[in-house]
Structure 1
């Protein structure tokens, strides 16, 4: 969205309200971890935040992913483990020469240490996968390898080591090489901590993704942590930065909370779609997007990813 350009110091409280770049954000309750299940977020949490401001958080032209309720349920179903459709960890890789040989689409999760990549992947599986398969810790830099989790025979989720604290010496080279050369990689997700807001490390990550020129989207994690007014402010900063500084980034960010699974079905549906596992019939606006920044190619099938 177009925002009035003033310094970040313009975010302030005025009579109990936040004002960010001349946009008034009304007061809201905090949804701490202990209450996150009690607060009922909508399927797309951005709709909850829209109630706090009088201007659109997203321009209409940017709202190009609009799945129906039925399509969301189909996207969600893909991530449910059942007989003949198992969720399993395939491999942990340090040496890129040992990447798994598989002809199914992959999506990767990128971000600084402790942003919640592993927690998000666990949430995409409904937090139902055995803990020995997905290890979640509070220590930054716990993930030190590329970890591949297969969703049946349909797709694979790739948990990448976080950059920043405790970064492995081989990380940057392996990450760049994987993201740039992996033929079956059809989408990456760059995660941003919604409580901390957009940091310098996040901006470096966005620059890296732009340099790689591979399709990616932004996911704001831990939306149960900040007050919603702070969450709106941080979301607006992400949108403003993406509008001005990116050309490849998908225009709609995804908001998620791993413990309560808020926003997870919406993200599951997007992943199912971009990997060719779900055809949507409710995306008329997508076909009107012709610019590079808002390109949104229709998947041709689960193993035909080069056009994505």
Structure 2
């Protein structure tokens, strides 16, 4: 006969200690994703208000967010293999508007303004409203520098996204600056924090380097899967 304590254990399982296993992309999927992102990539428009956001919601869209100077522009350039598609700047906070790009009329990419420690105030209502109401937004990619780990501004943004039930995935940037040992330790620490605190985080942390191109195909494949584009 099942005891009351055993019933309670079944109803209230122990908290996750690690992300559940999610298989990575196959070699075939990586090759197809690589080919997809070499389709023509074009700048669509910049938006400083909701009224200026492109109305075309027929194609899937993903957005890239992160702290100022985290490397969003460089990452998008690396994904589409176009060094000059997205303007980059060494000055933190250079991107003050939402910049929209498209890949072969099949996928939309959005470069979002960087945020700082006053995340909600710095972003304002426009960006949060876009994230909460954009029907074709399939996933938000939060860029984190593993050398610095999760900052308070990052966790603030994640709480906002969790509160709105928005799917996001963490991407560790500039991994070329760390040794394999230090990168593994930093990634493990970040994952442990996400398992403990995050709700809507996709259970796979990716690592990329815009400089030497490592991990770009894995991110490309993840984006296509999130957008339900065939691989």
TM-score norm. by structure 1 comes to 0.65
Structure-2 separation of matches of 1:198 and 1:74: 32
Q: Does 1:175 align with 2:127?
A: yes
8 Å Cα contact 1:257/1:264 also seen in 2: yes
8 Å Cα contact 1:190/1:205 also seen in 2: no
Aligned match of 2:60: 105
1:1-308 pair list within 5 angstroms: 62-81=20-39, 86-102=40-56, 103-126=58-81, 128-129=82-83, 131=84, 133-164=85-116, 171-279=123-231
Change (3 A) 1:211 1:166: closer
Q: Deviations over 1:78-98 (max 9, x none)?
A: 1003xxxx2000010001111
Q: Describe the SS at the equivalent of 2:175.
A: coil
Structure-1 separation of matches of 2:46 and 2:177: 30
Q: 4+ runs of 1 displaced by more than 2 Å? A: 165-172, 226-230
Structure-2 separation of matches of 1:182 and 1:155: 14
Q: Describe the SS at the equivalent of 2:188.
A: helix
8 Å Cα contact 1:141/1:165 also seen in 2: no
Q: Describe the SS at the equivalent of 1:144.
A: coil
- The CA RMSD measured in Å over matched residues stands at 2.1
Structure-1 separation of matches of 2:163 and 2:121: 21
Q: Describe the SS at the equivalent of 1:90.
A: strand
Residue 244 of structure 1 and its aligned partner are, at CA, apart by 0.7
Q: Deviations over 1:116-142 (max 9, x none)?
A: 11111111112x25x2x3111111001
Residue 168 of structure 1 and its aligned partner are, at CA, apart by 11
Aligned match of 1:47: none
Give 5+ residue unaligned stretches, structure 1.
Answer: 1-57, 280-308
Aligned match of 2:4: none
Residue 268 of structure 1 and its aligned partner are, at CA, apart by 0.3
8 Å Cα contact 1:96/1:178 also seen in 2: yes
TM-score norm. by structure 2 comes to 0.86
Structure-1 separation of matches of 2:112 and 2:54: 14
Structure-2 separation of matches of 1:170 and 1:92: 18
Structure-2 separation of matches of 1:168 and 1:196: 21
Structure-2 separation of matches of 1:252 and 1:168: 26
Residue 275 of structure 1 and its aligned partner are, at CA, apart by 1.0
Structure-2 separation of matches of 1:221 and 1:241: 17
Structure-2 separation of matches of 1:242 and 1:167: 18
**Greater share of helix:** 2
8 Å Cα contact 2:119/2:153 also seen in 1: no
Aligned residues: 214
8 Å Cα contact 1:111/1:163 also seen in 2: yes
Structure-1 separation of matches of 2:190 and 2:161: 15
8 Å Cα contact 1:108/1:185 also seen in 2: yes
